[in-house]
Amino acid sequence: MSKTNLHTRSMKLPSSRSSRSLLTLAAVATLAGCSMIPTYERPAAPVAAQWPVLSATATNEATVPAAELAWQDFIGDASLRELIRLALANNRDLRVAVLNIEQVRATYQIRRADQFPTLNLAATGLRQPKTDGSGGIGSAYTAGLAMASWEIDFFGRVASLKESALAQYLATEEARKAAQISLIAAVANAWLSLQTNDELLALTQRTLATRDDSLRLTKLRLDNGAASALDFRQAESLTAAARATLAQQRRLRALDVNALTLLVGQPLPDALLTSAGATFREVPTGLPSDLLQRRPDIRQAEQQLIAANASIGAARAAFFPRISLTASAGSASSELAGLFKDGSWGWTLAPQALLPIFDAGRNQANLSSAKVGRDIAVAQYEKAIQTAFREVADALAGRATLGEQLQAQQVQNDAEADRFRLADLRYRNGVASYLELLDAQRSLFGVQQAVAQTRLAYLQNQVVLYKALGGGAPPPSP
């Protein structure tokens, strides 16, 4: 029985010692491949070394950095903690961020697998006219293991692509942490807004009841000739304004509930919508340089920069020869029934080297694109640092001033409340005009609203500072 070749040559299988030698040489060749990736150097932070002068210093109790302070310890209200727990479990944006990690991890595993040969079980059959002029039909059958075009990475092209994929994977990990931080802050701020709108709604209801009473009294005085039509119309206008504000507060509260429902990802239990009083733990500020390690969005931008830097290595390696290896080992026969019989075993080894000669500038364009991509990543990294610096500086400015503003407005509120009491007493005794009473009512209501809004800004600023300093990120993955 005649035997046909596997590809071009057929030989007896080498000994196990020769096989180990070939595998060793291949492994050494792979490991010895050089890298074309430029040496990575972290760009200098384009921000000041200290926070602005207006920034307030942390209290003595604030000893744990925000990035190391768990959100459960930062938030003092049990209802808000439960809402955040539900949001972390059900929010769809966070779920997408987690799934993005899985997708990019699979991409990294694909790039990593490219460094190793792929073995397949192959079987082929071929029938074609013979070339000896006899007019007969020749047959060739093979079966065995085949390794198709494994690139021996002498110049680090595959390794560079793997490093780029790894950095992209790490960037998505940081993106997930940043998404969690943003989600925690968004839930906290929406919940605080809901508490403030509840407070303003109750305030407006009380104000409307007071103005309704005043309107009835003015109508009675008008009917008895003790008040003018002008006084009655002014009281009527002020009452209508309070009723319009009440409708507005009801709408704003509904919008807050809708926003919280979307963030939490499920209907909200009524018991979690109220609070006895939100409190947050103080956090130390640290230095601007600390943000480079504490902010996930900055670490994400840096990993994207590392990925862009690695892509340059792959683009550079494309200028050098690409060496690939195709091999197979198995049985070959000119008859299907002759496969796997004694003497039919053999192997082939077919290395190939391709050196680019003319590609119409494709490789150079790829290298230029990779370099520009790195420059873009540098700019994005620097922008992330500047944005983080601005967010922290703004939050520190708020911490330095909002407390004083709230205290001053509370003093003003007490003064306006006493002014309204005196104006009402003077009007009832006929000493003051009704215009004076209305002005006192308007001023008191406006100051009460301002106090509530400033208190909201003060509490939300604490949440923003915690977020800006990198607080709320999940613990490191194993």
Evaluate whether residue 131 is within a structural domain: yes
Evaluate whether residue 359 is within a structural domain: no
Spell out where 251-334 has E strands.
322-333
Q: Which of 16-30, 136-150, 234-248 has the largest mean confidence? A: 234-248
Parallel/antiparallel/unpaired status of strands 119-129 and 137-152: antiparallel
Same domain, 342 and 205: no
pLDDT at 372 over 50: yes
Same domain, 244 and 102: yes
Classify residue 363 as exposed, middle or buried by CB count within 10 Å of its CB (0-12, 13-18, 19+): middle
- Per the listing, tokens 């929406």 go with 190
According to DSSP, residue 147 is labeled E
Same domain, 276 and 344: no
Same domain, 289 and 395: yes
Give residue 1's pLDDT.
35
Same domain, 409 and 422: yes
pLDDT at 3 over 80: no
> Of the residues 302, 330, 354, which one is the last residue of a structural domain?
354
Same domain, 433 and 422: yes
Q: pLDDT tens-digit profile of 34-78?
A: 788 999 999 999 999 888 876 545 444 457 888 889 999 999 999
Give residue 477's pLDDT.
59
Q: pLDDT tens-digit profile of 191-225?
A: 999 999 999 999 999 999 988 988 898 889 888 88
Same domain, 288 and 378: yes
Give every CB contact of residue 68 below 8 A, 6+ residues apart in sequence: none
**Lowest-confidence pick of 200-209, 387-396, 420-429, 468-477:** 468-477
**Lowest-confidence pick of 150-154, 168-172, 466-470:** 150-154
Higher pLDDT, 226 or 106: 106
Same domain, 200 and 138: no
Q: pLDDT tens-digit profile of 73-103?
A: 999 999 999 999 999 999 999 999 989 999 9
Q: Is the dihedral angle over the CA atoms 459, 461, 464, 465 positive or is it negative?
A: negative
Q: Which domain holds residue 343?
A: 1-32+117-152+321-354
Contact 243, 215 (CB under 8 A): no
Give residue 383's pLDDT.
96
Same domain, 391 and 271: yes
**Quick one: tokens of 217?**
């009294």
Evaluate whether residue 477 is within a structural domain: no
Evaluate whether residue 39 is within a structural domain: no
Instruction: Work out the pLDDT band at 424, boundaries 50, 70, 90.
Output: confident
Q: Which of 424, 447, 418, 415 has the alpha carbon at shortest distance from 210?
A: 424
Give every CB contact of residue 195 below 8 A, 6+ residues apart in sequence: 274, 275, 278, 456
Evaluate whether residue 446 is within a structural domain: yes
Hey, what's the torsion of the CAs at 207, 208, 214, 217, to 10 degrees?
A: -150
Sheet order of strands, 322-333 included: 119-129, 137-152, 322-333, 345-354
Give residue 212's pLDDT.
92
How many structural domains comprise the chain? 2
Same domain, 452 and 372: yes
Instruction: Give percent of the chain above pLDDT 90.
Output: 52
Round to whole Å and give the CA distance between 175 and 173: 5
Evaluate whether residue 478 is within a structural domain: no
Round to whole Å and give the CA distance between 263 and 87: 6
Q: pLDDT tens-digit profile of 296-353?
A: 999 999 999 999 999 999 999 999 998 888 888 888 877 777 777 776 788 888 888 8
Hey, what's the torsion of the CAs at 296, 300, 301, 307, to 10 degrees?
A: 160
pTM of the model: 0.83
Same domain, 248 and 349: no
Evaluate whether residue 85 is within a structural domain: yes
> Of the residues 306, 333, 354, which one is the last residue of a structural domain?
354
Mean pLDDT of 104-129: 86
Higher pLDDT, 380 or 278: 380
Beta partners for 138?
A: 128
pLDDT at 19 over 60: no
pLDDT at 241 over 50: yes
Evaluate whether residue 392 is within a structural domain: yes
Give residue 9's pLDDT.
35
Q: What is the mean pLDDT of the chain?
A: 86
> Of the residues 309, 329, 354, which one is the last residue of a structural domain?
354
Provide the CATH number for the domain around residue 4. 2.20.200.10
Provide the CATH number for the domain around residue 264. 1.20.1600.10
Same domain, 291 and 431: yes
Give every CB contact of residue 108 below 8 A, 6+ residues apart in sequence: 162, 165, 166, 168, 169
How much is the CA Rg of the chain, to the nearest whole Å? Answer: 38
Round to whole Å and give the CA distance between 170 and 101: 8
